[in-house]
Amino acid sequence: MSSDLPIRKIIHVDMDAFYASVEQMDNPELRGKPVAVGGGGTRGVVSAASYEARKFGVRSAISGAQARRNCPQLIFVKPRFDRYTEISKQVKKIFFDYTDLVEPLSLDEAYLDVTENKKGNPSASLLAKEIRDRIFNEVGLTASAGISINKFIAKVASDYNKPNGQKTVNPEEVLEFLEVLDIRKFYGVGKVTAEKMYQKGIFTGKDLKSKTLEFLDENFGKSGRYYYYIVRGIHNSEVKPNRIRKSLAAERTFNENLSSEVFMLEKLEHIAEEVSRRLNKSKVAGKTITLKIKYSDFTLQTRSKTLPYFISDASIILETAKDLLYQEKMSNSVRLLGISLSNLNTEKSKKMVVKEKEVSVQLQFGF
């Protein structure tokens, strides 16, 4: 690999308990108290939790009922996505004072490529500190950051000193950092994959690095190659200011479980209309329709169908979702239905060849 290989300094900024922190900022009576954003009823789900609530085991995606059992004094507030979007725009405006290479992942996190930045500051670590200080002083919230040679390591690092902290993984520290990393900390390794890795004797980055590419391909399919390279510090994904949307979806959780397909069809009609509205607003269309079904026992099932043409029309989406619904008999009553469209007309296929030698070039880069 030639020395002309692009070398990058990447910052991953992650707002601390964003939704809950906004609520505490706007309502002083909530400050210092355990707060959950979401529904606290029997069917509710926690969208976000303050750090005070997290001490009691309250986490996003758990049921409101479980959250209350974990923390009886928990205060539930309804989400205000318009407000979160407003604050997110304020934060992103700060980002663009430093670089135009900003890739938002969601309302509360983003990658910044500051290899060449508007401040002319060669230190990505100092830039991250300055950005976090400005977010606090101008917006009123705290943020954490990870700084390193690529997006993967920066994202992992941003979780290290939360809340209101940052961690820099310098080029010469990358390989050691990854070797001692718990496999559960690897971004992209979920609970199921982690359990499978444990069964294969993989508990740390060092264990993962000891496995051959053939072994990882055989045991983890398409993800095997990804694991093989990231544990060697190789991750060539660039910060993309205009991220290409890969799918668009809408779903509904019901107040009571549905056991009649007639009632399900009524709900699907509203969901299909919402998906169509979002598609048309984004001026995109898709070919693959996926029906998501979550049963009353929380098991999840998806059914998909790919059409030979792009669609965004609600009636076609609904008819396809109906076909998927009737594809097989329901195994239980249903608590959630969702429809997503993927294989969108915005997607571009890119083939990227990765070479292990790149890491030695990256490690020459000063931070």
Residues annotated as part of the active site = 109
Distance CA 367, CA 364 (A): 10
Burial of 299 (0-12, 13-18, 19+ CB in 10 A): exposed
The answer for residues whose C-beta is within 8 angstroms of residue 231's C-beta and 6 or more apart is 178, 179, 186, 205, 208, 209
CA 342 to CA 249: how far, in whole Å?
A: 9
Buried b (16+ CB within 10 A) or exposed e, 15-25: bbbbbbbbbbe
Q: How many residues in the chain?
A: 367
The Cα–Cα gap between 184 and 182 comes to 5
Q: Determine the angle formed by the axes of helices 18-26 and 81-95, rounding to 10 degrees.
A: 100
Say how far apart CA 21 and CA 27 lie, in whole Å. 10
C-alpha–C-alpha distance, residues 76 and 46, integer Å: 9
Residue type, 67: A
* Residue 143 CB contacts under 8 Å (≥ 6 apart), including other chains: 13, 14, 15, 16, 91, 131, 132, 135, 136, 164
Alpha helices in 49-190 (DSSP H): 51-54, 64-70, 81-95, 124-134, 151-157, 174-179
Selection from 19, 28, 82 nearest residue 50 by Cα: 19
